[in-house]
Structure 1
Amino acid sequence: MRVRRVVTRRGRHIRGYFPSKKMKRMVAWESLLERDALLLLELSPGVVTYQEQPEELVYWDGEAMRAYIPDLRVSLNDERALLIEIKPSSELTRPQVKAKYRQIAEQLLAQGLDYRLLTDKEIQQEPQFSNLKQLLYRYNHPASPLPTRSQLAAAFYLTESLTLAQCLERFGSDVTDTLIAQARLYVDLTQPLAPTSFVQLPAGGDRHASVYF
């Protein structure tokens, strides 16, 4: 349960909810950048669960103890928990803001807590961000029927990889997009998707534990 519960439109701030299939509920966001970050968490196969505004922590700012609520707590496939703060990179050019989050990071890490500060540079990096937006529809609305595990294995029986064009010809675009969105097929989303892009079956647990941030 999140600490701050009210999500409203107030002043210049745009707030709302992200429909999460992974969490089976609407997840609150308090900035457009937070909303974009939720897309990465939703489609990252290595993210098991996530919680917005999860808990109130305290840190020492050099003068007094201050309350701090991270934007997200993420549970990863390797059983680690990660606290995340979302901030526009432009805000971190201000020395006071930069110093604040450096203090928070140092103190949380000293307590054995994994902590990351994500900016628009990591969240909206292209072409990954556009690729994920394209896959979101089929993640939420998967094509049907989908090939079984044995049918996928047969398609790759004589080769480690197929091109995206070959997958589209064999499975069709809707099924191919669904399989990639569900991490049943792997393609490097940090690169532009093209007919010659290599598509593979996920290798062991490594790719199933991958995250997009």
Structure 2
Amino acid sequence: MLARTVITRRGRRFRGYFPSHKMGRMVAWESLLERDAILLLECSRGVVFYREQPTLIEYADDERLGMYYPDFEVTREDGGLLHLEIKTSAELAKPEVESRFRAIAAHYRRQQRDFRIATEREIQREPLLTNARTLAYVAGRTGNSLPSARVLASKIGYDALPFVDAEAQLGRELVIRLIAGGTLTCDLTLPLAGNTPVAIAMGGHHAAYLL
């Protein structure tokens, strides 16, 4: 159960729900930047679970007690937990906001818990965000008809090859579906095209974090 009702009718910000293939449910977001962050969480192979506004954090702020709800709690492949805040760089530049999050970050350090703030500079990098949108679109439609890694290796081998060569042998749609399904891996900060290396996912290739 969430510690806070996420979607409200107050304010003028965009709000909505994202159909998460990874979580198997609708995930609430309260800004377009949060929605974009969800796309990166969906595509991060090292992220096994995430949830929005998971719990209330109480922290000391100039001898006062502050209350804070992190935007996301992320469970990593190694079992570690991260609380993630999504803010625009313009908002973070406001003195009162910067002061508040300095106190919040200090609280997490004292508790020896992982916390970070992600802005549009990390979230909306290109071509990363476009790639994440492309993969999220097909993630729920990968189906059971995708070739296994063994069958795939008989066609393209286990060594990395340029995206353009994989596309020529398998077709672009299948390559995209295989990346979305985790059978193929590539650096999503590079274009899904041209000479970007593509390989069959093996072990540690899955432990990737895009945020």
> TM-score interval w.r.t. the shorter chain?
over 0.9
User: Within 1, Cα distance between the matches of 2:14 and 2:75?
Assistant: 27
1:104 lines up with 2:92 in the alignment:
no
Residue 11 (structure 1) shift: 3.1
Query: What letter is aligned with 2:192?
Result: L
Query: What letter is aligned with 1:58?
Result: E
User: Within 2, Cα distance between the matches of 1:4 and 1:131?
Assistant: 31
1:70-129 deviations in Å (ceiling 9; x for gaps): 111010101101001111110111122112111111211220111011111111111111
User: Within 2, Cα distance between the matches of 1:113 and 1:24?
Assistant: 27
Residue 212 (structure 1) shift: 0.9
Residue 9 (structure 1) shift: 3.6
Q: What secondary structure does 2:203 align onto?
A: coil
Count of aligned positions: 211
| Cross-structure match for 1:164 | 163
Query: What letter is aligned with 1:197?
Result: T
The answer to whether the Cα contact below 8 Å between 2:149 and 2:200 also exists between their aligned partners in 1 is no
The answer to whether the Cα contact below 8 Å between 1:164 and 1:197 also exists between their aligned partners in 2 is yes
Alignment of 1:27-176 (within 5 A): 27-142=27-142, 145-157=145-157, 160-176=159-175
* Root mean square deviation of aligned Cα: 1.6
| Cross-structure match for 1:15 | 15
User: Within 2, Cα distance between the matches of 1:2 and 1:63?
Assistant: 28
Residue 156 (structure 1) shift: 4.1
| Cross-structure match for 1:202 | 201
User: Within 2, Cα distance between the matches of 1:119 and 1:183?
Assistant: 27
User: Within 2, Cα distance between the matches of 1:6 and 1:122?
Assistant: 23
Residue 148 (structure 1) shift: 1.4
Q: What secondary structure does 2:186 align onto?
A: coil
User: Within 1, Cα distance between the matches of 2:43 and 2:147?
Assistant: 20
Q: What secondary structure does 1:37 align onto?
A: helix
Residue 143 (structure 1) shift: 5.6
The answer to whether the Cα contact below 8 Å between 1:143 and 1:174 also exists between their aligned partners in 2 is no
The answer to whether the Cα contact below 8 Å between 1:45 and 1:211 also exists between their aligned partners in 2 is yes
Residue 30 (structure 1) shift: 0.9
Identity of aligned residues (%): 45
User: Within 1, Cα distance between the matches of 2:43 and 2:191?
Assistant: 17
User: Within 2, Cα distance between the matches of 1:85 and 1:32?
Assistant: 14
1:25-66 deviations in Å (ceiling 9; x for gaps): 111111111111111111111111111110001111113111
Q: What secondary structure does 1:186 align onto?
A: strand
Structure 1 alignment gaps of length 5 or more: none
Query: What letter is aligned with 1:61?
Result: D
| Cross-structure match for 1:189 | 188
